[in-house]
Structure 1
Amino acid sequence: MEAKLDVSLLDAVAPAPGEPGREILDPATGELVGVAPVHGLDQLEAAVAAAKAAQPAWAAAGHPARSAALNAAADAVEAHADELARILSREQGKPLNGPNARFEVGACAAWLRATAATVLEPETVVEDGETRAVLHYRPIGIVGAIGPWNWPMMITVWQIAPALRMGNAVVVKPSEHTPLSVLALAEVLNQSIPAGLLTVVSGDREVGEGLANHPAIGKVMFTGSTATGKAIIRSSADTVKRLTLELGGNDAGIVLPDADPSAIAEGLFWGAFINTGQTCAALKRLYVHQDIYEDVCQALTDYARTVPMGVGLDEQNLLGPLQNRDQYRIVADLVEAAKASGARILLGGNPDESQPGHFYPTTLVADIDNENPLVAQEQFGPALPIVKYTDVEEAIQMANGLEVGLGASVWSADPEAAREVATRLDAGTVWVNAHGAVDPRIPFGGAKQSGYGLEFGAEGLKHLGQPQIING
């Protein structure tokens, strides 16, 4: 195990005296978590310069040495797991337990190890006695990683682990809402990674724009909204950057008429409400056949009532607040519009605005039209609309009716029938009798305006390399 740092991680990442800083408040309590540095374009240039200096030796080290460093970094994450989880819980709001803060920190270590272990060999594409052509993947150079506020540590590792494994250096720009988590994670990772290869530039929008159009950065990875992704595409055009974009979802789930409502209720709930609904690939609109509609509504409501919501550091809680007030307002406004339209509130929809924190109650909405904004727009919070359908063709048409297609799911007692429906859904991943589960061995990416490029597994590594054919 790696030795722990001599000072707390929050102290280690705080701005130096006299440097600008931003107070970060706990979204559950409003209390001060810590002060994050506010970096600018000068710090971005310094990070790029350090990356350029360090990257050639890292590229020359080869896959075995780089994999060993990633495994050592995983050891360091595990050694600091408790402190990292508490920083994450206080800054992002997610509880320690359940599929939340401790889970996210554990996933960071697991992804580092899985990335280190993934095999990527040169591929002989032609060898016929006259022609020999072999496909290799060389380092790109410097990768810019722009992360979100919902899973700040885990998604950062999704970006930096394959980039480093492929011989690149990485400059990270975290969300302004959750910089402390990413700064603390990098502080831990850099115990095992050579200096200059991983730098976090904790700044505002100008830093993100500067990263996206910087001529020395060869690739940008971004997870976030479709609108911001389009802006990055525009910013990257002049330098013809490689891009991996994981954008908005509004994922659909279809429950077939043979499904057992009581058997699928727990899976449906966590597919929708993991991280209090603040997940790109969460289930955000549910289509249920009329024959079992009321039974599914009841089973979901019964299960949802059992899941406690509250301050993340309280060990019993499994759901937390919305991370910021803007997101709270989006969810509240969409639910109010659904109520005004005559939709039926099965649970929730009644926030207590007098209490501290950005808590919006677990909310289930039935008898809602497919065109309602709560269905048609990505709510990104703890509110699930449940739409009734009469035949599977109708459900497929509604599920495919939006411009996004990150994930989807089909629920049935007959997995083969579910797979047949799955092949007709316009989504990068379609789960059967589950929703949102990701695996470091399985490629992941979106369809339509949910982005392009793949992450995870050997395919994900390829997207962090520059393909080169050796012909002869």
Structure 2
Amino acid sequence: MTTTHPTDAGTTPVLEVRNPATQDVVGTYPIHGPDEVGAAVEQARIAAEWWQGIGYAERRKRLDAFRGVIARRINQLAGVIHEEMGKPHSDAALEVALVLDHIAWAGKNAGKVLGKRRSPVGMVNAHLGATVEYRPLGVIGVIGPWNYPVFTPMGSIVYALAAGNAVVFKPSEFTPGVGAWLVDSFKQVVPEHPVFQLVTGDGSTGAALCRSGVDKVAFTGSTATAKRVMATCAETLTPIVAECGGKDALLVDEDADLAAAAEAAAWGGIANAGQSCVGVERVYVHSKVYDEFTRLLSDQVSSVRAGGDAGAPVGPITMPSQVDIITRHVEEAVARGARVIAGGGPTEGQVVQPTLLVDVPEDASAVTEETFGPTLVLRKVADMDEALALTNASRYHLAASVFSKRRGREIADRIRSGMVAVNSVFTFAVVPSVPFGGVGDSGFGRIHGEDGLREFCTPHAVVRQKFAPPLKLMTLQRTKQAEERLNQIIGLLHGRK
């Protein structure tokens, strides 16, 4: 957790960052205001010109070197994540490892995706030549989350950098040390200019970044906070890409590999203490396999323990206020007839035990709202048509998972979401070439893949006249003969369709 400490007049207030398991202070960081944020953006503006000028090949070399630093010091960075947000060290190391492929892919493919290329002009415009390229916007402000403090913001940072932008990064107030580690490590491979900078603080710092004149804001967080970020960015017409919450469903068809589905559901819902925007929160299971699947999933959930000790496979809840939300969702569901059939147990401080619920009404908060904790809601359905109807009824449409041997792709194609994993969970996040993002209250815009590179660019089109046109149409001296000839050409090209 974080504690804000005001200081004497004229000095900068600070954040005190505490380990969520022990409450030990693990760091203090300044709360930067508009002046400090504005200065960082101005420095980034100058740095961006140099960074863009060194070209795709040199940027790739620098990003590869950055990747090497992270890979060699992976355990050190995992230790900072563990201390600040509480996840087990092994899970923190896995998070760091997963970002390395993204750095490699973005650096390797940026020139191919964004570089200048010819564009078709059509028969009527044969006298013209056209090119399109994607130019960096300039300075990108990234407001990162605490639940995956490396993997998630780096999905914006790395792709923005590969495209030629400078970045000013405001990490979550719960994990500023992670942000500082990343920025300091990048400076080792790009010492010439402040291409990647850090500002720390709370919501006021984020608001200052939105108002600072950056060319785009990349935000990850709750839907409610995204609306406030959008409103602030609207003051200066600053565009944003928003990756917000989810209430992701896992669908289990009658022919699914039940053991694999149960293992995936448990991991997808409980890993990182359930604090995953693409975490599994709802599970819809075909009636023909419901009983067997329920037994398998119950065994999985019952075997997992959350704790603050080194031996616990599941860590504490990072944000203290989230404990109340998780508790409310479970208690409300039980009060309305739901049953806890596996897991559960007392909450101790910020440690919440994994919980499997059944018989939860579809209008209960445990189904309609993002819980963001180690809680799974299990429901029997008559068939996949019912499962799809229930899945798509949510206002959140970030991601989903389907387990089926024969119909996985067919079912996936009918889900309204940004991403779907078939016979797996989370796999869409680890493939660098595919876009990541949501629909509806889960946000808009994309990170990762070609879309993620273009997200931080603006298209630049140039059309050049190579020789005089056979028909002079764009002139005040256009002749009747030219008009008649145009009509004949249009009839031949389009009239017979």
Work out whether the TM-score is over 0.5.
yes
Q: In structure 1, what is the equivalent of residue 197 of structure 2?
A: 199
- Give the C-alpha shift of residue 288 in structure 1: 1.1
Q: In structure 1, what is the equivalent of residue 69 of structure 2?
A: 76
- Give the C-alpha shift of residue 21 in structure 1: 2.4
User: Secondary structure of 2:461's partner?
Assistant: strand
Q: In structure 2, what is the equivalent of residue 6 of structure 1?
A: none
Residue among 431, 436, 454 paired with 2:426: 436
Q: In structure 2, what is the equivalent of residue 122 of structure 1?
A: 116
- Give the C-alpha shift of residue 311 in structure 1: 2.8
- Give the C-alpha shift of residue 349 in structure 1: 2.6
- Give the C-alpha shift of residue 171 in structure 1: 0.8
Structure 1 residues 336-384: Cα deviation after superposition (integer angstroms, max 9, x where no partner): 111111211112232243xxx4110011111222112101111001001
- Give the C-alpha shift of residue 260 in structure 1: 3.2
- Give the C-alpha shift of residue 297 in structure 1: 1.4
Q: In structure 1, what is the equivalent of residue 346 of structure 2?
A: 351
Q: In structure 2, what is the equivalent of residue 447 of structure 1?
A: 439
CA distance in 2, matches of 1:372, 1:192: 51
| Letter in structure 2 aligned against 1:324 | M
CA contact 1:369–1:387 (8 Å) conserved in 2? no
Q: CA RMSD in A?
A: 1.7
CA contact 1:265–1:299 (8 Å) conserved in 2? yes
CA distance in 1, matches of 2:131, 2:312: 53
Q: In structure 2, what is the equivalent of residue 371 of structure 1?
A: 363
Residue among 272, 277, 282 paired with 2:274: 277
CA distance in 2, matches of 1:116, 1:79: 19
CA distance in 1, matches of 2:215, 2:295: 51
Q: In structure 1, what is the equivalent of residue 451 of structure 2?
A: 459
Q: In structure 2, what is the equivalent of residue 335 of structure 1?
A: 330
User: Secondary structure of 2:285's partner?
Assistant: strand
Residue among 104, 118, 123 paired with 1:113: 104
Structure 1 residues 423-467: Cα deviation after superposition (integer angstroms, max 9, x where no partner): 111101111111222121211111122111111122211111111
CA contact 1:77–1:108 (8 Å) conserved in 2? no
* Number of residue-to-residue matches in the alignment: 446
Residue among 48, 51, 54 paired with 1:55: 48
Q: In structure 1, what is the equivalent of residue 216 of structure 2?
A: 219
CA distance in 2, matches of 1:347, 1:90: 29
- Mind listing any 5+ residue stretches in structure 2 that lack a counterpart? 1-6, 465-497
2:250 matches 1:253: yes
CA contact 2:38–2:209 (8 Å) conserved in 1? no
| Letter in structure 2 aligned against 1:204 | D
CA contact 1:80–1:188 (8 Å) conserved in 2? no
Structure 1 residues 301-335: Cα deviation after superposition (integer angstroms, max 9, x where no partner): 112233343336x2x43211110210111111111
Name the CA shift for 1:115/1:83 in 2 (closer, same or farther; >3 Å).
same
| Letter in structure 1 aligned against 2:272 | N
CA contact 2:252–2:261 (8 Å) conserved in 1? no
Q: In structure 2, what is the equivalent of residue 399 of structure 1?
A: 391
The residue correspondences of 1:2-401 to structure 2 (distance < 5 A) are: 19-97=12-90, 100-118=91-109, 119-120=112-113, 121-128=115-122, 129-193=126-190, 194-214=192-212, 216-311=213-308, 314=310, 316-353=311-348, 357-401=349-393
CA contact 2:358–2:378 (8 Å) conserved in 1? yes
- Mind listing any 5+ residue stretches in structure 1 that lack a counterpart? 1-14
CA distance in 2, matches of 1:86, 1:262: 33
CA distance in 2, matches of 1:185, 1:351: 37
| Letter in structure 2 aligned against 1:317 | A
| Letter in structure 2 aligned against 1:126 | P
Structure 1 residues 127-159: Cα deviation after superposition (integer angstroms, max 9, x where no partner): 454222211011101101001110011112111
| Letter in structure 1 aligned against 2:434 | I
User: Secondary structure of 1:22's partner?
Assistant: strand
CA contact 1:335–1:349 (8 Å) conserved in 2? no
User: Secondary structure of 2:182's partner?
Assistant: helix
CA distance in 1, matches of 2:99, 2:383: 42
Larger Rg over CA atoms:
2
Q: In structure 1, what is the equivalent of residue 487 of structure 2?
A: none
User: Secondary structure of 2:54's partner?
Assistant: helix
User: Secondary structure of 2:387's partner?
Assistant: helix
CA distance in 2, matches of 1:178, 1:348: 29
| Letter in structure 2 aligned against 1:407 | A
Structure 1 residues 260-295: Cα deviation after superposition (integer angstroms, max 9, x where no partner): 322321112112222111011111111112222221
| Letter in structure 2 aligned against 1:367 | D
User: Secondary structure of 2:28's partner?
Assistant: strand
CA distance in 1, matches of 2:255, 2:73: 47
| Letter in structure 1 aligned against 2:94 | F
CA distance in 2, matches of 1:206, 1:301: 43
CA contact 1:297–1:366 (8 Å) conserved in 2? no
- Give the C-alpha shift of residue 19 in structure 1: 5.0
- Give the C-alpha shift of residue 124 in structure 1: 2.3
CA distance in 2, matches of 1:57, 1:35: 32
Structure 1 residues 104-142: Cα deviation after superposition (integer angstroms, max 9, x where no partner): 222233322221112323332214542222110111011
Percentage of pairs with the same residue: 35
CA distance in 2, matches of 1:159, 1:166: 11
CA distance in 2, matches of 1:387, 1:277: 19
Structure 1 residues 29-87: Cα deviation after superposition (integer angstroms, max 9, x where no partner): 21221222222222101111111121111111111111111111111112322221111
Which deviates more from structure 2 when the two are superposed, residues 104-113 or residues 418-427?
A: 104-113
| Letter in structure 1 aligned against 2:317 | L
The residue correspondences of 1:399-418 to structure 2 (distance < 5 A) are: 399-414=391-406, 417-418=407-408
Q: In structure 1, what is the equivalent of residue 412 of structure 2?
A: 422
CA contact 2:187–2:194 (8 Å) conserved in 1? no
Q: In structure 2, what is the equivalent of residue 4 of structure 1?
A: none
